[in-house]
A and B are shown apart, each in its own frame.
Chain A
Amino acid sequence: MGDMPQPTEAMTDARHDMEICNACRYCEGFCAVFPAMQLHRAFTDGDLNYLANLCHGCQGCFYACQYAPPHPWGINVPQAFAALRVESYAEHAWPRPMARLFTRNGTVVSLLTALAVALVLLIAGALQSPDVMLRAHTGPGAFFAVISYRAMVWTAGAVFMFALLAMAMSTASFWRASGGGAPSAAALARALHDAMTLRNLGGGGDGCNYPGEGFSHLRRWLHHAMAYGFLLCFASTSVATIYHHALGLVAPYDLLSVPVLLGTIGGILMLIGTIGLLWLKILADPAPAARAVLGGEYAMLILLAAVAKTGLLLLVFRATPAMGWLLAVHLGFVLALFLAAPYSKFIHGLFRTAALIRSHVERRGSAA
């Protein structure tokens, strides 16, 4: 017994909360967590990690709880789960030593960002004469006058592939720890639907209790703007890659071309979403929040906003002398995003979806 690791404070809090919730169950109508909880009598660390990732932090069960602080039982499910989620990201980080990036994640993401931006600026500066950086370029290939296409593709491609691999490995590890197995197509479809609509931020109809006790759908819509904006930007890059390789069309593209349109709309949505979410976070009631994880959340939102904003600025000023360093800065932020993705709040989307899949698998199991 001597080598049993001590449970962390977040794990202890989450277990305390779930044991009381399981004897109470008043919140069963809010979200997927409570029906999933009710399938257990006791909670292993794996169960709690899974439930924590199933929680969308809507805060409904905090304001509704008759045992919330200052009640001596101090039930605060969104807070306990937010802290535990970050521990679960660290626990399943790949490669393993990267787990430590989740402590003081806000600082880590900020430093990473600063480094990435500086690096791209330096490389661009070193490889090209200052003259190139500060001159206006137009016409096909203008961007690549600043940073060679090869350098861009190889760096971006390598970092991107690594990020994908790292995120896939972490998510697979989380999935195995929460029970493993192959989900049915139906469970997958339901979970994807829940993830894409953020059904569990619906709080049973009127939205979540965010930023405060009142009900609102604002957070859900802002998150949609950010997430779908991001996907549109991603689609824009993908289309551009196809243009470049398959069609031999070289960027910059027309204002009305598909990549520019997707990127513009996506960028604007992302900017609205991230700034809106930042604003809500500043207004938010601190009582149900987990203070230790806020830094990482702010850092990721700011990074996403910076990616969107520099992308849009690049579009506006692409025919001016500012293009050179704007491009470098934008690529720096994008690089930072890819580097940080597996080791930041960004990973929550994958863990959340995996948890939703598990909940649909289990629910079907129990219905039989």
Chain B
Amino acid sequence: MADLTRPYDVLVIGGGNAALCAAVTAREAGASVLLLESAPKAFRGGNSRHTRNFRGMHQAPTKVLTGSYLEDEYWDDLHRVTGGITDEPLARMTIRVSAEMTPWMEACGVRFQPALSGTLSLSRTNAFFLGGGKALLNAYYATAERLGVDILYDAEVTNLLLDDGFVRAAEFNHRGFPARATARCVVAAAGGFQANLDWMRQYWGDAVDNFVIRGTPYAKGRVLKTLLDQGVAPVGDPTQFHAVALDARSPQFDGGISTRLDSVPFSVVLNREGKRFYDEGEDVWPKRYAIWGRLIAQQPGQIAYSICDAKAFSLFMPSVYPAMKADTLGELAHKLGIDAGQVEQVVADYNRAVQPGRFDSTGLDACRTEGLDPPKTHWARRIDEPPFYGYPLRPGITFTYLGVKVNENARVLMADGKPSANLFASGEIMAGNILGRGYLAGFGMTIGTVFGRIAGREAARTARN
């Protein structure tokens, strides 16, 4: 049982992957550890409970990864998606350490799908958790409990008392009652602030009411805010977030992976006014899905509609909500709630612009439009075979980029560049140091695991000296 009357060696704030990696590592190093998770037990685990894989460097095939994925290729991939908004030494260190992670994860009870199994296209670069992120967290929580980490659920940290970069205590609400914990060292692993709509409203106005938050409702950024307010150095653009296109019927929070829609490359996408606004076939979907959230966020009413016909319908993953379906485009438009005449006109213009060509759903093909603005540069086939299918789309926010600055020991840096004496950070709350923009599948869990391990180790060491 947690004992709040004594100081712990290490206090870990958060209950996702980054927090658990830090807590288990610190406990393994002999520190006494208290972990405060804002969510109740049933919803523990933050965004990490919605994840599926981990991107790991490896020299040769392993049990869970095929081929090899070396530092330079990994770095090139990261450099490309971030457009250089990264920190090369920190990034390269993360990449190198990622190579040592999977055996430790397995020792904690995390189980992976065997490489080459299932429908996985990323099996060279990414190791897939058997059962997904919640199964991974169940394993970490079981390990933490077995090792004697004290865990409090329903414990939202509201304030950290900082004194010249030194954390004196943490104030939190435990099941609605104010409480206080003290520790020699603190690891902040409380995720991003994407679930704090009022904070996001500062940058996006009332558009946020039309955003879907893909993950946990508990990522409200209170820890991030209290740190930035007390002179910790920020990193990352506060206005930016990672977003994908999702089914507009998704719940506002916690819809997770299954609400995403892969229909875009095989459809035309119209905004509320019935106009196309971007090339739906610009590139293969895994390279494009992440820009569509932003694109839709910029449309009037933050909504869009993807429309395809019978021959395209089976080419993408089944959706969590059934597609709207109709025998004519007019009727479909009516069901979607957009102007029927406009939809018929746009699809007719599009159909006329479609050029003959070889169709290939699995790669960049030769089906494109001619003389259309914006063009559709791949997978452009006439939409003429009923029934017609449509989905309403909204931006689904994955995470925010704003975070706290850290050094290679996961130690938090103050605005004047000085490292904090006893404050560390891991996971989403510091990911902006390395991933300032864009996204690389599986890299969120890599950052959380690598920095969680480092933060846990350094916090334990600092506390016990």
Which residues of A does B touch, CB under 8 Å? 19-20, 22-30, 35, 38, 41, 60-61, 63-67, 69-72, 204-206, 213-214
Q: Indicate if the CB atoms of B119 and A29 lie closer than 8 Å.
A: no
Q: B132's contact among A35, A41, A64, A214, by CB below 8 Å, is which?
A: A64
Query: Which residue of chain B has its CB nearest to the CB of A70?
Result: B42
Chain B residues whose C-beta falls within 8 Å of the C-beta of A25 in the assembled complex? 118-119
Given contacts A29-B113, A29-B130, A72-B251, contact A214 B119 (CB under 8 A): no
The main secondary structure of chain B at its interface with chain A is loop
Query: Which one of B119, B132, B142, B319 has the highest number of Cβ atoms from chain A below 10 Å of its Cβ?
Result: B132
Q: Indicate if the CB atoms of A28 and B257 lie closer than 8 Å.
A: no
Given contacts A19-B318, A20-B258, A23-B317, contact A38 B134 (CB under 8 A): no
Chain B residues whose C-beta falls within 8 Å of the C-beta of A20 in the assembled complex? 258, 320
Query: Which residue of chain A has its CB nearest to the CB of B128?
Result: A29
Chain B residues whose C-beta falls within 8 Å of the C-beta of A205 in the assembled complex? 111
Chain A residues whose C-beta falls within 8 Å of the C-beta of B138 in the assembled complex? 63-64, 213
Which residues of B does A touch, CB under 8 Å? 42-43, 49-50, 52, 111, 113-114, 117-119, 128-135, 138, 142, 251, 254, 256-259, 314, 317-320, 322
Q: Indicate if the CB atoms of B256 and A66 lie closer than 8 Å.
A: yes
CB B141 to nearest CB in A, in angstroms, measures: 10
CB B266 to nearest CB in A, in angstroms, measures: 14
Known interface pairs A29-B113, A72-B251; 8 further A-B residue pairs with C-beta atoms within 8 A, sorted by A's residue number: A26-B52, A26-B257, A30-B131, A63-B134, A66-B133, A204-B113, A204-B130, A213-B142
CA distance A78 to B134 in the complex (A): 17
CB B311 to nearest CB in A, in angstroms, measures: 14
CB A184 to nearest CB in B, in angstroms, measures: 23
Query: Which residue of chain A has its CB nearest to the CB of B139?
Result: A215
Query: Which one of A22, A24, A38 has the highest number of Cβ atoms from chain B below 10 Å of its Cβ?
Result: A24
Given contacts A19-B320, A204-B111, contact A27 B131 (CB under 8 A): yes
CA distance A25 to B53 in the complex (A): 13
CA distance A71 to B142 in the complex (A): 21
Q: Indicate if the CB atoms of B320 and A26 lie closer than 8 Å.
A: no
Chain A residues whose C-beta falls within 8 Å of the C-beta of B43 in the assembled complex? 70-71
CA distance A201 to B52 in the complex (A): 22
Chain A residues whose C-beta falls within 8 Å of the C-beta of B52 in the assembled complex? 26
CA distance A227 to B131 in the complex (A): 29
What 6 pairs across the A-B complex have the smallest Cβ distances?
A: A64-B131, A26-B132, A64-B135, A23-B258, A23-B320, A24-B258
Q: Indicate if the CB atoms of A66 and B134 lie closer than 8 Å.
A: yes
6 A-B pairs with C-beta separation under 8 A: A23-B317, A25-B118, A26-B257, A63-B131, A64-B132, A71-B254
CA distance A22 to B320 in the complex (A): 8
Chain A residues whose C-beta falls within 8 Å of the C-beta of B49 in the assembled complex? 66
Chain A residues whose C-beta falls within 8 Å of the C-beta of B119 in the assembled complex? 25, 28, 38
Chain A residues whose C-beta falls within 8 Å of the C-beta of B319 in the assembled complex? 23
Given contacts A20-B320, A23-B317, A214-B142, contact A67 B130 (CB under 8 A): no
Chain A residues whose C-beta falls within 8 Å of the C-beta of B132 in the assembled complex? 24, 26-27, 64, 66
Chain A residues whose C-beta falls within 8 Å of the C-beta of B114 in the assembled complex? 29
Q: Indicate if the CB atoms of A24 and B257 lie closer than 8 Å.
A: yes
CA distance A70 to B111 in the complex (A): 25
Query: Which residue of chain A has its CB nearest to the CB of B135?
Result: A64
CA distance A61 to B132 in the complex (A): 10
Given contacts A23-B319, A29-B117, A61-B131, contact A66 B50 (CB under 8 A): yes
Given contacts A24-B257, A63-B135, contact A41 B118 (CB under 8 A): no
CB A107 to nearest CB in B, in angstroms, measures: 34
CA distance A65 to B49 in the complex (A): 9
CB B215 to nearest CB in A, in angstroms, measures: 9
Query: Which residue of chain A has its CB nearest to the CB of B117?
Result: A29
Chain B residues whose C-beta falls within 8 Å of the C-beta of A61 in the assembled complex? 131
Q: A41's contact among B128, B254, B257, B314, by CB below 8 Å, is which?
A: B314
